[in-house]
A and B are shown apart, each in its own frame.
Chain A
Amino acid sequence: MSEMKKIKNLKEFSTSADRFEGANLLCPGCAHSIIVREVLNATNDDMVLSASTGCLEVCTAVYPYTSWDASWIHIGFENSSTAVAGAESMYKALKKKGRLKQPDRNPKFVSFAGDGASYDIGFQWISGCMERGHNIMHIVLDNEVYANTGGQRSSSTPIGSSATTSPAGKVSYGEKKNKKDMMTIMAAHGIPYAAQVSPNKWKDMVKKIQHGFAVEGPVFINAVSPCTTEWKFDPKDTMHLADLATDSLVFPLYEIIDGRELNITYRPKNVVPVEEYLAAQGRFKHLFKDEYKYLIKEWQERVDANWAYLQRREEARV
């Protein structure tokens, strides 16, 4: 086991030598790369990375350029988890056989995928990896929409969001179904660690990523990734949106250890009304018409109920 990188504060963190490069083709203000940087900079160990088809993938490995300073693979939309699990299996095999070129390293195997590639098309592959116990970390860059293909709904798209395949219109308020609860589904696999993170809370993120790297077995991370293009806000406001997401408790930050022990890791001092979170985004603009205002109330009730549920689970230690 390698020594964990010591990151006491942001100044110390800023001495990290990035292994993700600029001049990628992600939108200005994209939260994906902020998350990727926080994850990669959480360790000094070598990394083997994979990405599912999606914004991160198509914007960081467009021939003849790569933005990755660690080994990286993309196969398809659904299988970044299994791709890196295959690499991890090879690592185990070569370690047993004494054929690793640099046997003294402690590589971390990390798969990145969007919510579409995780909640929808890649769901089975991730579940398989979690069940089999590979020593990998799967990170969802959750922007609640198929952003790469122009904003189609996924099963992560929340109620009332206008997506291109669940658009708001004269007789529709947009997406009708509630977001799939991936965290508890993944935790139900009995994996050693599952956590929800947000890039604005970098220290919480780094702590959770380091915890994930330290445990043996599969780790699931759901990272909220405010999308300037599809959530429709100014690129400069990405971190403001992340603040609203965590402080309105729409994206509560918590972890589930061994599939059971739930810990809330961030309690906002001043909880922001959900309405403020919704109002900051174009995708919810139509909810502010009189006929749909009841949906905002329902949103708040849902968020409150979820927060109460998380707190009850935390107290009950189940």
Chain B
Amino acid sequence: MAKKGWDEFEIGAMLRTFNGKIDDIAGTRQENRDYSENSSYTASVADWRLIKPVFNKDYCIDCQFCWVYCPDVSIISRDQKLIGIDMDHCKGCGICVEVCPTNPKSLLMFPEQADEETEIASWPKKDEKEA
């Protein structure tokens, strides 16, 4: 964000989360909220990542462990289904992979540069030992 001069911002270093008014925050999904430029939702920490999670929906059972344990609100669940990963906010911690209970896992970590389609095409098979 552009660095503003002393006369260009709200007094008291106060920040507003949304542009204008919001009626029911808890009942409004992120994509339907009018975030202001001051909400960190509009920022990205993608450059923190060295490794990234890749989601393979073929094995996902929508248990939502990854959703509840993601520290960065980066597992996108809608209507009780995991639909993707918010790569602007994911810091690549790998918790989602650790807590994924399926066999093989529905989420795996790969180098940041890895191609998602290639990795999904060569996804590991079921681990018989673990099963």
Q: Which B residues are in CB contact (< 8 Å) with A26? A: 71
Interface members, chain A 1-45 (any B CB < 8 Å)? 10-26, 28-34, 37-38, 43-45
Which of A14, A20, A24, A67 lies in contact with B68, CB distance below 8 A?
A14
Interface members, chain B 84-128 (any A CB < 8 Å)? 86, 88-95, 97-99, 109
Is B39 located at the chain interface by the 8 A CB criterion? Answer: yes
Check B95 against A238 for contact (C-beta < 8 Å): yes
Check A13 against B29 for contact (C-beta < 8 Å): no
Is B11 located at the chain interface by the 8 A CB criterion? Answer: no
Give the CA-CA distance A236 to B41 in the complex, in Å. Answer: 23
Q: A13-B64, A13-B68, A38-B68 are in contact. Are A19 and B26 (CB under 8 A)?
A: yes
Is A239 located at the chain interface by the 8 A CB criterion? Answer: yes
Q: Which B residues are in CB contact (< 8 Å) with A21? A: 39-41, 73, 89
Nearest opposing residue in chain A for B24, CB measure: A44
Interface string of B30-43 (1 = CB under 8 A from A): 10010001111111
Interface members, chain A 199-249 (any B CB < 8 Å)? 199-200, 202, 228, 234-240
Interface size on B, residues (CB 8 A): 51
Check A237 against B64 for contact (C-beta < 8 Å): no
Is B55 located at the chain interface by the 8 A CB criterion? Answer: no
Within the complex, what minimum Cβ distance (angstroms) separates A23 from chain B?
4
Q: Which of A37, A199, A236 has the most CB of B within 10 A?
A: A236
Give the CA-CA distance A287 to B61 in the complex, in Å. Answer: 41
Q: Which B residues are in CB contact (< 8 Å) with A64? A: 1, 9, 15, 37-38
Question: Which residues from chain B sit less than 8 Å from chain A, CB to CB?
Answer: 1, 9, 13, 15, 17-18, 25-30, 33, 37-45, 48, 62-65, 67-74, 77, 79-80, 86, 88-95, 97-99, 109
Question: Which residues from chain A sit less than 8 Å from chain B, CB to CB?
Answer: 10-26, 28-34, 37-38, 43-46, 60-61, 63-70, 199-200, 202, 228, 234-240
Q: List 13 A-B contacts (CB under 8 A).
A: A13-B64, A21-B40, A22-B40, A22-B45, A22-B88, A28-B91, A29-B93, A33-B72, A61-B15, A64-B15, A236-B94, A238-B93, A239-B95
